[in-house]
Amino acid sequence: MRIIPAIDIIDGKCVRLTKGDYDTKKVYNENPLEVAKMFEASGIENLHLVDLDGAKAQHIVNYKVLEQIASKTKLKIDFGGGLKSDEDLHIAFNSGAKQITGGSIAVKDRETFEGWISKYGSEKIILGADSNAGKVAISGWQEDSEEELLPFIKDYQKKSIKYVICTDISKDGMLEGPSFDLYKQIITECSNSSSGQSIKLIASGGISEIGEIPKLRDLGCEGVIIGKAIYENRISLHQLERYV
């Protein structure tokens, strides 16, 4: 299972939020590159980079941070937050993203998102399916859609989506453990679905201690995104090295 630390960006700084609430912002480092290099030095190969300013502004904002990390480390970066247009996507890939995550656009503008899957392929486009009480949350989690989570994922399975990041917003930043039951349900239902290829599910939100990682692996998660648990020293990079 891939270990994927997260760096969330506001005003060019490395921050964390709780349940996606911008008022809970806590700055952990003024220099995201420094954090990325620390991850790389521990043998980590993947990074989840989120442009929180972009999520709010509805277009890419912090592409310079992406460019800096991509050019000065060998981390494979998946980038998300506010990607709404072909131009946003072009900037993200030109700035060094290996993959991009689309969440709101997959709900609000299916035609464009499906066009990205066709153009760039399912290895490069990740579906962001963030859950709030079973509904897909959008617009930097500031808004709930009417989309039910499981049918939403299954529908994009039919459209050849391979990678899915699912964050249970109620767990995000709470350090109370991830949504094991939700991930089990997604993996079971999507594996038994006639919708197409099996998905690679990336768990996100609530990771609080190292023992949760093998449980997610045993459920069948392809990757796990870890944020606050690293920044709050609940999980050390040394502990993660055995999984890298």
- By CB neighbour count within 10 A (0-12 exposed, 13-18 middle, 19+ buried), where does 194 fall? exposed
Catalytic residue among 8, 51, 78, 168: 8
Q: Which residues contact 95 (CB under 8 A, 6 or more apart)?
A: 63, 64, 66, 67, 70, 79
Give the position of tokens 């998300």: 80
Give the C-alpha separation, 75 to 44, whole Å: 8
Q: Catalytic annotation on 130?
A: yes
Burial of 175 (0-12, 13-18, 19+ CB in 10 A): middle
Pairing label, strands 21-29, 76-80:
unpaired
Q: Which long-range contacts does 209-213 make (Cβ < 8 Å, 24+ apart)?
A: 209/234, 209/235, 210/235, 210/239, 210/240, 212/177, 212/178, 213/1, 213/3, 213/243
Burial of 40 (0-12, 13-18, 19+ CB in 10 A): middle
Catalytic one among 51, 53, 130, 168? 130
Could you confirm whether 11 is annotated as catalytic?
A: no
Residues with a catalytic annotation lie at 8, 130
